Amino acid sequence: MKKLTNTVRTAIVVAMLGVTGSALAVGTGEPFTISEGAIADTPINTFVADSFDFSYNARIEQTNDGSGAGGLLDGDAFQERGFLSVSSYKDGVNAPSSWLGSPEPVGYKMYGIFTLNGTGAFNGTGITASFTTGTLSLYIDKLSDGIGAAPTSDGVIDGVVSNAPVVSNTADDELIGTATVLSSGEAHLFGGLANGDYEVIWGNWALTSFGANYWSSPLAFHTIINFNGNTTTVTPAGSVTAPFSSIADGSGNAFFNRVPEPSGLALLGIGLLGLSLSRIRKTRA
C-alpha cells in the first residue's frame, strides 16, 4: 500500500479539525433592507445592513447528576433564558444612519427574548455547552420604554413560568419575527467560568406582517440568523462539579444567511483531501 503523502496527511488533519472542532463564525452576512418608516411616527429612512450588534443578559440553570468522573459535568442538561438589546445596525464596518436608539418621538428601540436548551460538559478548563433547541423573538419598542432582564429562578430547571425573561411596558411593542434554534452552535466558558464565547445558529426565521414592512427585502427573506460573540461575566461563577444557577451577560453580532454556513476550515480540509486523493488515483492509473 502506497504511503500517504504529507499533503494528504495535512488535508486529513485539517478536515478532522473542521468537522469536529468549533470554529465560531465571525463576519457579516447577507444584506437586508431596513425601512424605518414602517414604525409609527418614525420618519421614512431606508438603508441596507448586513448585521446588527447587541448585548444580552440571561440566566443559566445547569444540572449535574454526578455521574461524570469525579462528579464533573459530562453532558448534563441546562436551560438558558435571556433578554437582548440591539444597539446598532452594521453594513460591513460602518453603521448606517438610523433612528434606532434615538430619543423619542422619532426614535425607537429593538430587543429580543430567547430561550436555549442543551447539554454542558467539562472540557478540561471550563465548560462546553452544546445547544439543541430554543426559540428567539425580536421586537420593536416604539416608545423605548421597555425594561428587560434575565428571569428570576426558584431552582435548577424547575420548568415554571418564573424562568421566563421579564419585560415591562410591552403594550406599544411590535413583533418583528420568530425563529427556532438549529442543532448547531455551542458556547464555551473558560477557566474560572467567568468569560467565554458562543455561537447560536437560529433557523426557521419567519417575519410577521409588520416585520415584512420593517425588514422589507429581500422579499423571500433570509431564514437563518447567526448569533456569535463573547460572554463577559457569569455570576456566581458556577461549578463543573455541582448544579448551579447564574446570571450571564455579554455582547455579540447577528447576521443572516439563507442556509447554514458550513465550517470554512472543514471545507478547506475536505477540498484538499479530495484533491490529494485524486492525484493519487491519477498516479496509480
Q: Are 15 and 104 found together in one domain? A: no
Q: Are 39 and 167 found together in one domain? A: yes
Residues 53, 85 contacting (CB under 8 angstroms): no
Q: Are 170 and 223 found together in one domain? A: yes
Q: Are 161 and 72 found together in one domain? A: yes
Give CA separation, 124 vs 60, 245, 261, in Å. 20, 21, 28
Q: Are 93 and 208 found together in one domain? A: yes
Q: Are 279 and 222 found together in one domain? A: no
Place of cell 444567511: 257
Which residues on adjacent β-strands are paired with residue 190? none
Q: Are 82 and 162 found together in one domain? A: yes
Predicted confidence pLDDT, tens digits, the chain (285 residues): 333 333 333 332 222 223 333 334 445 699 999 999 999 999 999 999 999 999 999 999 999 999 999 999 999 999 999 999 999 999 988 999 999 999 988 999 999 999 999 999 999 989 999 999 999 999 999 999 888 877 776 554 444 444 667 788 888 999 999 999 887 899 998 754 448 999 999 999 999 999 999 999 999 999 999 999 999 999 888 789 999 999 999 999 999 986 655 543 333 333 333 433 344 444 444
Q: Are 101 and 14 found together in one domain? A: no
- Domain housing 281: 1-21+263-285
Burial code (b: 16+ CB inside 10 Å, e: under 16) for 231-266 equals beebeeebbbeebbbbbbebebbbbbbeeebebeeb
**Cα angle: 143, vertex 146, 150; to 5 degrees:** 165
Within a 13 Å sphere around the CA of 157, how many CA atoms are in the beta-carbon half?
16
**Per-residue model confidence (pLDDT) at position 66:** 94
Q: Are 89 and 163 found together in one domain? A: yes
Place of cell 485539517: 14
Q: Are 90 and 107 found together in one domain? A: yes
Q: Are 175 and 246 found together in one domain? A: yes
Q: How far apart are CA 65 and CA 50, in angstroms?
A: 42
Q: Is 285 helix (H, G, I), strand (E, B) or coil?
A: coil
Q: Supply the DSSP symbol for 172.
A: T
Encoded amino acid at 193, one letter: L
**Per-residue model confidence (pLDDT) at position 214:** 98
Structurally, the chain folds into a number of domains equal to 2
Q: Are 68 and 8 found together in one domain? A: no
Encoded amino acid at 279, one letter: R
Contacts of 220 (CB under 8 A, 6+ apart): none
Residues 216, 186 contacting (CB under 8 angstroms): no
**Per-residue model confidence (pLDDT) at position 244:** 92
